[in-house]
């Protein structure tokens, strides 16, 4: 199933994505949830925090995994994705510290072995049930830049010039690192369900390539086409270049009533 939900606004998309994650946690209290950083999922995280406050949505058994991290930032840098996850989500929820599995940007010599350990950790924990994803303007997933093997695993990756330029705008003046560590496309595809969010007109072209374009390592996000269970939540602008919109709307109206999802993930 590749389900494409098109919402009027990003706020509506974040709310509906939030209710999908919340419903899944209620069905599976020990959910293994993969997190993504970036601007896009912030609204979804805010919704989860609100649901925790207002409906006591319980995160005490939820286990969290992160998708990617920078290598080589100052240890106290605010740009670490680890900081982002704490700020937008973790610090506001009842997450057990032992359930937090966030990638770190290890020192040069430890990278290969820490990537292998991370893969092993995910496997030992039983795999990721639901992986939240954004999409880079160049089609990257996590930091799997164009040219990444569709079967790649967690590894160190060189950031592209365009990614560094985009990140530079939100990096508080600190230089953007050359390298990052990311789950591979093969790793991501092993998650049982992918929840990919994209909002805004600047994502329209890449969303169309990922969903309707040919499968290609040059558009790493097109690898979602190989996955049996994908939910995309797009606002009208991000869905703007999709040719099959009418079908997607029909399809999603079958599984949603208001903010309630009728989906077995």
H, E, C per residue of the chain: CEEEEEECCHHHHHHHHHHHHHHHHHHCCCCEEEECCCCCCHHHHHHHHHHHHHHCCCCCCCEEEECEEECCCCCCCCCCHHHHHHHHCHHHCCCCHHHEECCCCCCHHHHHHHHHHHHHHHHHCCCCCEEEECCCCCCCECCECCCCCCCCCCEEEECCHHHHHHHHCCCCCCCCCCEEEECCHHHHHCCCEEEEEECCHHHHHHHHHHHHCCCECCEHHHHHHHCCCEEEEEECCCCCCCCCHHHHHHHHHCCEECCEECCCC
By CB under 6 A, name the one of 27, 39, 123, 260 that touches ligand GLP: 39
Q: Which stretch binds ligand GLP (CB under 6 A): 8-16, 133-141, 205-213, 224-232?
A: 133-141
By CB under 6 A, name the one of 21, 67, 102, 128 that touches ligand GLP: 67
Question: Which of the residues 11, 12, 92, 138 is marked catalytic?
Answer: 138
Q: Which residues contact 112 (CB under 8 A, 6 or more apart)?
A: 155, 156
Q: CB nearer to ligand GLP: give 57 or 231.
A: 231
Q: Is 86 a catalytic residue?
A: no
Q: CB nearer to ligand GLP: give 21 or 57.
A: 21
Question: Which of the residues 69, 129, 145, 235 is marked catalytic?
Answer: 145
Q: CB nearer to ligand GLP: give 38 or 184.
A: 38
Per CB under 6 A, 207 contacts ligand GLP: no
By CB under 6 A, name the one of 63, 68, 95, 157 that touches ligand GLP: 68
Q: CB nearer to ligand GLP: give 57 or 208.
A: 208
**Of all residues in this chain, which one has the CB nearest to ligand GLP in the complex?**
134
Per CB under 6 A, 134 contacts ligand GLP: yes
Q: Is 140 a catalytic residue?
A: yes
By CB under 6 A, name the one of 7, 24, 40, 47 that touches ligand GLP: 40
Spatial CA neighbour of 136 closest among 159, 102, 116, 155:
159
Q: Is 138 a catalytic residue?
A: yes
By CB under 6 A, name the one of 5, 31, 35, 37 that touches ligand GLP: 37
Nearest approach in angstroms of CB 253 to ligand GLP is: 27
Residues annotated as catalytic are 68, 138, 140, 145
* Interacting residue ranges for ligand GLP, rule: CB under 6 A: 36-40, 67-68, 134-136, 142-143, 163, 167
């Amino acid at each position: 199933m590749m389900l494409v939900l098109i919402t009027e606004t990003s706020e509506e998309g974040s709310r509906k994505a939030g209710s999908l994650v919340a419903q899944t946690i209620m069905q599976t209290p020990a959910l293994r949830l993969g997190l993504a950083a970036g601007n896009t999922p912030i609204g979804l995280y805010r919704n989860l925090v609100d649901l925790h406050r207002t409906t006591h949505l319980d995160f005490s058994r939820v286990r969290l995994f992160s998708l990617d991290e920078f290598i080589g930032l100052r240890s106290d840098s605010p740009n670490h994705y680890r900081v982002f996850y704490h700020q937008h989500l973790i610090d506001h929820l009842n997450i057990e510290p032992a359930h937090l599995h966030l990638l770190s940007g290890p020192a040069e010599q430890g990278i290969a072995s820490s990537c292998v350990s991370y893969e092993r950790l995910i496997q030992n924990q039983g795999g990721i049930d639901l992986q939240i994803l954004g999409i880079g303007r160049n089609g990257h997933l996590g930091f799997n830049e164009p040219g990444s093997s569709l079967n790649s695993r967690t590894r160190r990756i060189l950031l592209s010039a365009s990614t560094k330029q985009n990140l530079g705008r939100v990096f508080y003046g600190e230089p953007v690192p050359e390298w990052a560590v990311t789950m591979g496309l093969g790793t991501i595809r092993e998650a049982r369900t992918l929840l990919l969010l994209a909002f805004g007109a600047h994502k329209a072209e890449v969303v169309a390539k990922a969903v309707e374009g040919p499968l290609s390592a040059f558009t790493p996000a097109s690898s979602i086409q190989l996955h049996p269970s994908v939910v995309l939540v797009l606002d009208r602008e991000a869905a703007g270049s999709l040719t099959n919109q009418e079908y997607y709307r029909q399809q999603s109206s079958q599984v949603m009533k208001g903010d309630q999802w009728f989906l077995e993930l």
